């Protein structure tokens, strides 16, 4: 485990010097390897070059500066190693898909990267589709199940039971029809999976449910960190991976902390089987506030 400790110490050195010209030999020395070995090992373990990692991390931190300060864009550019605002804007847009000036004015979705950390498996250094949203009070209607003390080995067991049409079939309790019915759109749209106070709730907004004789819950207004998957995945595979990235990598390294015990899964689904397989994607919203 000394090797893991040395590698993580090298990452800590890199992170502490992201805004400076860090010394590769010093980082390699901390890891107790040669500079060439450190570069090769880092690339092999993370799937990106050390130079690319540093660029992505700098642009992640630059986005935070744009959001939380009024520092001129040229000063932020220079802080993170760019000679001009134009060069910084090109690099920022390449990573995030939006220019610094537009992001500062209007906000938007980002591609953020958490610091790498070496464990038995690599955590961090993964691309995350991230944005900050301001949510108004939103009333949803659904059915909840108790997780804590009910004998489920994992949260995923409870989620699967509630979604499965051969178990609890909560979607069938909320909407007319069923999955895969030709010509039906009853299941099209947004679904919520809400983890709070030892319970999991499957819910939709008022216009999307067939009856209001179910549990009502208010998603509280506030600031949320929102993370999105790519299209086409399976919920039972995507959500555990996304939660791990959020809580093991992003939250510890970000300027935010979770505000209270609430995590919202947002599922974008279709009734039609082929459309659902092709287009479905998922989000996780976490209520956050800035660390003091």
Whether residue 4 is predicted with pLDDT greater than 80 in this model: the reply is no
Strand, helix or coil for residue 101: helix
Q: Is the pTM of this model over 0.85?
A: no
How does DSSP classify residue 230? P
Cα–Cα dist 244/255, whole Å? 18
Residue 63 CA to its chain's centroid (Å): 15
Mean pLDDT computed over every residue of the chain: 87
* pLDDT at 197 (0 to 100): 83
Burial class, 53, CB count within 10 angstroms (exposed 0-12 / middle 13-18 / buried 19+): buried
Percent of the chain with pLDDT over 70: 92
Q: Which of 23-37, 64-78, 140-154 has the lowest mean pLDDT?
A: 140-154
**pLDDT tens string 254-284:** 788 898 889 999 999 999 999 999 999 999 9
**pLDDT tens string 9-56:** 898 999 999 988 789 999 999 988 888 878 877 876 777 888 889 999
* pLDDT at 86 (0 to 100): 94
Cα–Cα dist 219/262, whole Å? 9
pLDDT, average across residues 85-109: 91
Please say whether the beta carbons of 14 and 23 come within 8 A: no
* pLDDT at 251 (0 to 100): 81
* pLDDT at 246 (0 to 100): 86
Q: How confident is the model at residue 206 (pLDDT cuts 50, 70, 90)?
A: very high
Cα–Cα dist 24/44, whole Å? 17
* pLDDT at 124 (0 to 100): 55
Strand, helix or coil for residue 127: strand
* DSSP-H helix ranges across the chain: 2-16, 24-31, 35-46, 50-68, 73-79, 85-96, 100-106, 155-163, 170-174, 235-244, 251-253, 273-279
pLDDT, average across residues 81-108: 92
């Amino acid at each position: 485990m000394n090797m893991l400790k040395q590698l993580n110490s090298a990452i800590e050195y890199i992170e502490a010097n992201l805004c400076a010209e860090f010394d590769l030999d010093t980082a390699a020395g901390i890891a107790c390897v040669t500079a060439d070995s450190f570069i090769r090992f880092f690339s092999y373990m993370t799937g990106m070059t050390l130079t690319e990692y540093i660029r992505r991390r700098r642009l992640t931190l630059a986005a935070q500066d744009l959001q939380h300060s009024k520092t001129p864009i040229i000063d932020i550019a220079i802080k993170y190693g760019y000679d001009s605002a134009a060069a910084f804007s090109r690099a920022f847009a390449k990573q995030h898909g939006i220019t610094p000036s537009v992001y500062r004015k209007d906000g938007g979705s980002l591609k953020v990267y958490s610091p790498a950390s070496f464990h038995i498996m690599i955590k961090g250094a993964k691309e995350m589709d991230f944005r900050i949203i301001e949510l108004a009070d939103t009333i949803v209607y659904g059915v909840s199940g108790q997780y804590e003390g009910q004998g489920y080995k994992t949260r995923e067991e409870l989620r699967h039971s509630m979604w499965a049409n051969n178990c609890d079939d909560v979607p069938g309790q909320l909407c007319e029809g069923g999955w895969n019915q030709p010509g039906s759109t009853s299941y099209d749209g947004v679904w919520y999976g809400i983890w709070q106070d030892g319970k999991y709730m499957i819910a939709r907004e008022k216009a999307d449910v067939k009856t209001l004789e179910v549990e009502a819950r208010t998603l509280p207004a506030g600031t949320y960190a929102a993370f999105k998957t790519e299209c086409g995945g399976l919920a039972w595979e995507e959500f555990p991976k996304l939660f791990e990235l959020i809580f093991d990598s992003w939250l510890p390294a970000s300027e935010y902390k979770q505000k209270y015990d609430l995590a919202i899964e947002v599922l974008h689904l279709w009734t039609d089987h082929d459309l659902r397989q092709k287009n479905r994607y998922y989000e996780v919203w976490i209520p956050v506030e800035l660390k003091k």
